[in-house]
Amino acid sequence: MNIIIIVLISLGLFFFFGTAVGMLRLPDFYTRSHAAGKGDTLSTALILLGCALFIMHEGHYSGASILVFLKLMSIIVFVFIGSPTASHAFIDAGYETGEKQWSNKKQAKKKP
């Protein structure tokens, strides 16, 4: 059981690291918010799942620890409802105010 918890939390950290790298290195507003919205939600869910399993394992599956496990599961449900909606909200706002998309063509340089 400990191995599962360690694997879950390190996968969560790996996805968080990927989110951070994506937010810094991707070229455009839309791609950056895509990385932030998806990676954020998934890594939060994995880390919280690992913590919830750890609490239940340490409490030897008693009533109180199952209650804590259910509360952490409900946090994951609300993060899955709220965080992608927030990403949709600001990408929509960016589209409405006219953010340009990045394309692969080289920009025309102005002659001095």
Q: Which residues bind another protein (CB under 8 A)?
A: 78, 81-82, 85, 88-89, 92, 96-97
Least distance (Å) from another protein to the CB of residue 28?
Answer: 19
Measured CA to CA in angstroms, residue 34 lies from 11, 21, 71, 92 at distances of 19, 13, 28, 12
Q: Of 25 and 71, which CB lies nearer to another protein in the complex structure?
A: 71
Which phi and psi (to 5°) does residue 98 adopt?
A: 90, 40
For residues 7 and 81, which CB has a smaller minimum distance to another protein in the complex? Answer: 81
- Tokens 């706002």, residue located: 93
Write out the two tokens for 71.
Answer: 């509360």
Residue with Cβ nearer another protein (4 or 89): 89
Q: How far is the CB of 102 from another protein (least distance, A)?
A: 21
Question: Smallest gap, in angstroms, from Cβ of residue 54 to another protein?
Answer: 17
CB 37 within 8 A of CB 90: no
